[in-house]
Amino acid sequence: MKFMHMSDCHIGGWQRNEELRDILSESFDEAINLARKEKVDFILISGDIFDKAIPDITAIHNAVKKMKEARDAGIRIYVIEGSHDFSVTDKTMTKILDSAGIFTRVARQKRIKNDEEDEDDKLEMILTEDCETGAKITGISGEWRAGEEERYRLIDEKHIQEKLEKNSGFKIFMFHSGISEFKSKKLASASGFMPLSLLPKGFDYYAGGHIHIKSEYEYEVPGYNQIYYPGPLFPMNSQDLEEHPVGGVYLVTVEDDRPKVEWKEINICGIVSIEVDASKKNPSSVEKEIRDKIEKKDVKDKIVVLRVEGTLESGHRTDIDFRGLELFIKEKHARTIVKREVKLKSSVYEKYHTDSNTQAEIEREHTEEFSKLKLLNINNEEKTRLINEILRYLSTERTEGETKQNYKERIISEVDTVLGFDKKVEEIENEAELS
């Protein structure tokens, strides 16, 4: 048996850069081509196949065309939703494509009624069997701001273990969450992590998604065999373009229920990084230094990441002719240019500015920036948690049949609860009654 494991395709992403959006699509095409070349039995996509629940129609068309090629070649595709293509209303493109037979959603559970009044209902995991190999696949989709954690807490662990023991074949669990015990310092401010103990034990392969850094954990914790995160097919923000420029997939060959895992790069075009320190310089000298560095680089058909940081000695950041620099770089036949000037400052006061290209990157930068402000008598970590919780509630959609007014009142109530305003109001009302 042989299968491919990919995640975080984010098809339709990079909305502000058409070239990068095309490269993202080409990366997905290349992964499907590789699956056909390697003659895999099936493909696993561990969440965020699309960048949002209902993506751009062109992105959908290209992706569906490629997946149909795989299906016509006899390759089955199994998916779960991620935090980007999930929707609380369940109105997603993944659901439509599942109904059309392009792929199969495997994050299926059945709610088991608990007769005990003080006990919550349980969730029974449903195994999907691959028709050719007999592999058993199940999982839990990711949700916005780690909302899926509650589902894990409701899993009937005893039932899933009994089911695994009764069913033969290779068993795969797909998930779209980070694991707190494996969280690195670099991901300290990232959301979407949960304790390892919530992940059900006993599967032969854990196909992870959500973490945008390739990560492997083999037999490190009893009960959990091999946990793999392939990372994205293509970097999804300017920082990752520099630090993690190459995406990829895992090819997994199974013999005697033992998986052999091999990493395969997906690299559509090269990346050239240009870094300039603007400290103690004026805009003109910064422009000249950038041009000089570009002249010494081979940027043809490559992505150029231009990073400018530091505090200008004089002038304003807007005095740097970035538009002219972009035209200069394109004349060198670069495929596209990505600017990183988040840490570029003027010696005079200016409003907060960002050149981030994705919603997630913008949110992360704003969260880090605002968590430093002395607005509340709490530490930065707690501020970051509060901000992430508020963003989670503000991003929820209206439920079926919910009026705009009810939706507005629900969101305000939920944010009030996060900030503790509801308790404060109750205290004031109680004091008023006593007086």
Axis-axis angle for helices 322-331, 283-295 (nearest 10) = 10
Closest CA to 208 of 261, 155, 134: 261
Helix ranges (DSSP H) in 213-321: 238-243, 283-295
Buried b vs exposed e over 156-172: b needs ≥16 C-beta within 10 Å?
Answer: beeebeebbeeeebbbb
Q: Please list the residues that pair with 345 across neighbouring strands.
A: 311
Closest CA to 261 of 199, 210, 211, 218: 218
Asked if 47 and 258 count as a contact pair (C-beta separation under 8 A), the reply is no
Burial class of 391 by CB neighbour count within 10 A (0 to 12, 13 to 18, 19+): middle
Q: How far apart are CA 216 and CA 226, in angstroms?
A: 8
Distance of CA 320 to CAs 16, 39, 163, 292, Å?
Answer: 21, 51, 63, 15
Distance of CA 63 to CAs 34, 101, 211, 269, 271, Å?
Answer: 15, 14, 22, 20, 24
Catalytic residue status for 84: yes
Instruction: Bin 27: left if φ > 0, else alpha if -120 < ψ < 50, else beta.
Output: alpha
Catalytic residue among 10, 84, 210, 212: 84
Asked if 142 and 128 count as a contact pair (C-beta separation under 8 A), the reply is no
Q: 3-class secondary structure for 378-404?
A: CCHHHHHHHHHHHHHHHCCCCCCCCCH
Residue corresponding to tokens 């959006």: 21
> Does residue 207 sit in helix, strand or coil?
strand
Residues with catalytic annotation? 84
